[in-house]
């Protein structure tokens, strides 16, 4: 399903964001 795919992309983007936040901390 496209919805599942979108959620998966969003999740991976969220992980990247958390990583950046951690690095800047």
Q: Tens digits of per-residue pLDDT, 1-25? A: 678 888 888 889 999 999 999 999 8
- C-alpha distances in angstroms, 2 versus 10, 11, 13, 21, 22? 12, 14, 16, 29, 30
**Which token pair is 24?**
């800047």
Q: How far apart are CA 5 and CA 17, in angstroms?
A: 19
Output the pLDDT for position 3: 80
CA angle 20, 21, 23 (to 5 degrees): 65
Output the pLDDT for position 1: 67
Q: Which residues make Cβ contacts (< 8 Å) with residue 2, sequence separation at least 6?
A: none
């Amino acid at each position: 399903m496209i919805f599942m795919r979108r959620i998966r992309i969003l999740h991976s983007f969220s992980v990247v964001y958390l990583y950046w936040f951690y690095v800047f901390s």
